[in-house]
Structure 1
């Protein structure tokens, strides 16, 4: 780590990532603050999105591997065509993606704060909490790793 990283200074270009406190599909609370000092990859997706669904095997695989960063996915029940929370949780639980952590952004308020315009959209948060990069569309695992390596 650089001196800037260890002292808590901003080292990435960009604005601070919106903080969040969401629950996962099992009801556990998850906050961005839980990962302070770590890099975080965040993928917003929807159950009705064919590109999103085609990438679930890949993101599930990535989520099951050891990294120096955290992998989170976020779905927004009741927003932008997404099914209700109960329906989504029931649907997702039957898919067999046991490695993925899916956080529930009821009503899409966090998606709005992040500026999500379409699905899927990926966000890369640096260890300094800065939203270092956003990329619309599918990001294959090798690109995710390269992008994470390029931020602090």
Structure 2
């Protein structure tokens, strides 16, 4: 994006293109003009797993932003994409979009240090805020009220 179209302060978010659990390619560009809450998490992370029900609730609501999650098969201890997909399809979280970042290629570009981590992307594609650790739904919603 050009600086003319920017409304938020910060740098452009990495323009990922990743597959979802069904093999469909999802790109950050697909959300152009929309705010995006991006959460990196791992299947072995107890804090991540404890927050999935809340995340599923958030993803099922109309909040004025998209909720997208990313896991990193074969990176930082995550299962293979096949094993993760088989495990996740047995979970009761049907509102959550999960993208697969094989070997953490995009995680490195986002500067991921640990799980879970939250990234707040404005409607102009600017990465406005990143935050390690669990984020509660009310704080996520409140943060997006301050992002254009």
TM-score calculated relative to the size of structure 1: 0.93
RMSD: 1.1
Q: What is residue 119 of structure 2 aligned with on the other side?
A: 123
Residue 30 (1) aligns with residue 42 (2): no
Residue 47 (1) aligns with residue 36 (2): no
8 Å CA contact 2:63–2:141 kept in 1: the answer is no
Residue 87 (1) aligns with residue 77 (2): no
8 Å CA contact 1:42–1:122 kept in 2: the answer is yes
Deviation at 1:8, TM superposition (A): 5.8
Q: Distance in 2 between matches of 1:8 and 1:77?
A: 37
Runs (5+) with no aligned partner, structure 1: 1-6
TM-score calculated relative to the size of structure 2: 0.96
Aligned length, in residue pairs:
146
**1:88-120 per-position Cα deviation (integer Å, ceiling 9, x unaligned):** 000001111111000000110110000010000
**SS across alignment from 2:5:** coil
Residue 16 (1) aligns with residue 21 (2): no
Q: What is residue 73 of structure 2 aligned with on the other side?
A: 77
**1:54-94 per-position Cα deviation (integer Å, ceiling 9, x unaligned):** 00000011111122111000000010000000000000011
Cα distance change on mapping 1:55 and 1:37 into 2, 3 Å: same
| Structure 1 counterpart of 2:108, from 101, 112, 117 | 112
